[in-house]
Structure 1
Amino acid sequence: MSETMRAVRITGHGGTEVLGPVRVPVPEPRADEVLVRVAAVALNNTDLWTREGAYGRPGDPDALSGWRGPVDFPRIQGADVAGRIAAVGARVAGDAVGRRVVVDPAVYDSDGPDANPVGLMGSERDGGYAEYVTAPAGRVHDVTDSPLTDDQLAALPTAYGTALGMVERARLAKGETALVSGASGGVGLALVQIARARGARVLAISSGAKADAVREAGAHTVVDRGRDLGGQLRAAAPEGVDVALDVVAGDLLAEGLPLLREGGRWVVAGALGGYGVAFDVRRLYLHNAQLIGSAMHTPRHFGLLMDLARRGALRPVIAAAFPLEQAARAQERLAARSHVGKIVLHPRAA
């Protein structure tokens, strides 16, 4: 193994100019860690927002900040890693070397199955925009026998983990009607697929140009976000929806909350439409509705996701792949939001 590796780091908050290819030492796994040779790493909106410092802080929403606070620069980005174990720490069984794996990127607040994520690989610790990355052995999942490609496996952790966390927290049941916002994005497509697999009727919001791809992912009905959204939603679901799976928030939450049926659940895991929201709180308490925040997944959720991956029960859509050195170009493509599915980088480790 080479003593150095290629990586792409951010040196501060800013535009893509802060992304820079470098050669750095290959990280050494600690006693309870493994070293993963990265085959593919998927991009997420969190890559953009961490680079831009767009998360804000409690009491100061406009502050430059990472996912959970200040970022320790320089930082190798990349939460979503698929690859093979190249080496193990002193307290990890040596027969793990060579196994094909997906890394759970979350840093949790405890060791239990329902622990909350309080950090993220690529933000609070170095990630997979590199030939190698270390991870705790307990957060690395063996998917050697999965029929999915490396690119598809890399597409799972953040997008599908977030989606499965939303669906689980919403307690979505067979036969219910689920509204999915931002349905052509990485999390949105995952939500469509998972909700459909749960036996829900899926009502998706997307642009007209991407509607066919969203239907192919499993949506029963797709409404165009660009024209009279409220009218379209009321026409498509005249009896209301049981669950909203929302990565947009903004005006959609205020306009859509009255669509919830009695006891409905509105789950928010993003703010693409804006984080400042005003809504009629009477529509919440008079109808026993629930407004639920959902940040990523728990260890239990991620275990369920990996079971689906081993069976090939989910089929992530890959929009484009770039070599590692083109990370800035890949992030620009992600920010343009003209694609459907996931964008991945290939470090091509030796």
Structure 2
Amino acid sequence: MTSTMKAIRIEKNGGPEVMQWVDVPVPTPKADEVVVRNKAVGLNFIDIYYRDGLYPGELPHGLGFEGAGVVEAVGADVTHVQVGERVAYGQGPLGAYAQMHCLPADRVVKLPDEISFEEGAAMMLKGLTVQYLFRQTYRLEPGQTILFHAAAGGVGLIACQWAKALGVKLIGTTSSAEKAALAKAHGAWEVINYKTEDVVERVRELTQGEMLPVVYDGVGAATWERSLDCLQPRGLMVSYGNASGPVTGVNLGILAQKGSLYVTRPMVGTYVATQESMQSAATELFDLVVAGQIKINIGQRFALQEVAKAHEALAAGKTTGATILTLD
């Protein structure tokens, strides 16, 4: 092992320009840790939250939670993966934007040979997100109809396919006809262009007035009210992201007025907190991918050292599917 490697670090919060491509020491694993030599790294909105300071981190720090590669070194207590094995990870800690990443062994799972490193990096955080949303937060049943915002995004395209595999009718929202066509091609039952259509009225039409048992909303502030209005009485609002900014100033009385609604603000880490729960969720995801029921759509690729361009594209809504950061 060489003594240094390249990594993205930030010394202050701010725009894409704060990300620096620098030399850092190669990590040495503790007893319960694994060092992964990354072959590909995933890009997610949470990376922007940590970069701009919406989610606080102790500066200076790295960025990125998701990647795939080969095990470079293992700690003394690690038994479930070995040096040289293909692995993927999608649940922190910060620092995936690097040639090598050191992380707790219980965050790492073996990557099946049928799944490429790029696919692994593109789907771990996004795929685990859909797993906990659809199978744990609200366990979907065949025949149900749901609403999923940003259906043409990285999480959204996996959700479209997973819903179809479950026999669930997914109504997606997108911002353009092109994105709507992409979501439909990946299994969405219907798609609403929120720029040209009234989401609530369209849901009312599609459900013949029954509305929905659950709404999955990773957009946040911009869609909060309309999401609540799409729910049946006693329906569940799953607010799992803040792409348009965080939901603030919530009046709980609104939930009563709109039909004794439930709201949850989940995070993936709570649902895959142990090695066993991580492995169980990943296995369910991998099985669907290997079976061809979920295909990972990689819409963009950027070299890791050009990650600023990737952040700009993601924040501007110019990406579809997953975005991959590549390493030489």
What is the TM-score of this pair, normalised by structure 1?
Answer: 0.83
Question: Are 2:16 and 1:16 equivalent residues in the alignment?
Answer: yes
Q: Secondary structure at the match of 1:75?
A: coil
Which residues of structure 1 form unaligned runs of 5+?
A: 56-65, 106-119
Q: Distance in 2 between matches of 1:295 and 1:75?
A: 21
Question: Are 2:241 and 1:270 equivalent residues in the alignment?
Answer: yes
RMSD (Å) for aligned C-alpha atoms: 2.2
Aligned residue identity for 2:266: S
Q: 1:256 and 1:286, CA in 2 relative to 1: closer, same or farther beyond 3 A?
A: closer
Q: Secondary structure at the match of 1:76?
A: coil
**Greater shift in the superposed pair: 234-243 or 295-304:** 295-304
Paired residue total: 315
1:136 to 92, 96, 104: 104
Give the equivalent residue in structure 1 for 2:264: 292
Give the equivalent residue in structure 1 for 2:301: 321
Question: Are 2:191 and 1:222 equivalent residues in the alignment?
Answer: yes
Which residues of structure 2 form unaligned runs of 5+?
A: none
After superposition, give the CA deviation of every residue in 1:194-243 in whole Å (9 maximum; x if it has no partner). 22222211111112231111011110100111022232222222221121
Say if 2:65 and 2:93, in contact at 8 Å, map to a contact too: yes
Q: Distance in 1 between matches of 2:204 and 2:238?
A: 19
Deviation of 1:104 (Å): 4.1
Q: 1:104 and 1:282, CA in 2 relative to 1: closer, same or farther beyond 3 A?
A: closer
Question: Are 2:171 and 1:191 equivalent residues in the alignment?
Answer: no
Q: Secondary structure at the match of 2:268?
A: coil
Q: Distance in 2 between matches of 1:196 and 1:97?
A: 37
Q: 1:282 and 1:49, CA in 2 relative to 1: closer, same or farther beyond 3 A?
A: closer
Say if 1:203 and 1:219, in contact at 8 Å, map to a contact too: yes
Deviation of 1:12 (Å): 0.9
After superposition, give the CA deviation of every residue in 1:300-323 in whole Å (9 maximum; x if it has no partner). 653343213433253221011111
Give the equivalent residue in structure 1 for 2:128: 161
Q: 1:136 and 1:245, CA in 2 relative to 1: closer, same or farther beyond 3 A?
A: same
Question: Identity rate of aligned residues, in percent?
Answer: 31
Q: Secondary structure at the match of 1:96?
A: coil
Q: Distance in 1 between matches of 2:9 and 2:129?
A: 24
Say if 1:179 and 1:243, in contact at 8 Å, map to a contact too: yes
Q: Distance in 2 between matches of 1:97 and 1:230?
A: 52
Q: Distance in 2 between matches of 1:76 and 1:135?
A: 13
Q: Distance in 1 between matches of 2:163 and 2:219?
A: 17
Say if 2:170 and 2:189, in contact at 8 Å, map to a contact too: yes
1:182 to 142, 147, 150: 150
Say if 1:188 and 1:247, in contact at 8 Å, map to a contact too: no
1:102 to 73, 88, 113: 88
Give the equivalent residue in structure 2 for 1:115: none
Q: Distance in 1 between matches of 2:228 and 2:106?
A: 39
The structure whose RCO (Cα within 8 Å, separation 6+) is larger is: 1
Q: 1:173 and 1:284, CA in 2 relative to 1: closer, same or farther beyond 3 A?
A: farther
Deviation of 1:131 (Å): 0.8
After superposition, give the CA deviation of every residue in 1:252-310 in whole Å (9 maximum; x if it has no partner). 33233233224422111013344236578465477443212111242265334321343
After superposition, give the CA deviation of every residue in 1:106-130 in whole Å (9 maximum; x if it has no partner). xxxxxxxxxxxxxx422xxxx1111
Say if 1:29 and 1:87, in contact at 8 Å, map to a contact too: yes
Q: Distance in 2 between matches of 1:76 and 1:270?
A: 21
Give the equivalent residue in structure 1 for 2:48: 48
Mapping 1:219-258, distance limit 5 Å: 219-227=188-196, 228-238=198-208, 239-258=210-229
Say if 1:41 and 1:129, in contact at 8 Å, map to a contact too: yes
Say if 2:200 and 2:229, in contact at 8 Å, map to a contact too: no
After superposition, give the CA deviation of every residue in 1:61-101 in whole Å (9 maximum; x if it has no partner). xxxxx2xxxx2222121100111101111223497111111
**Greater shift in the superposed pair: 279-288 or 245-254:** 279-288
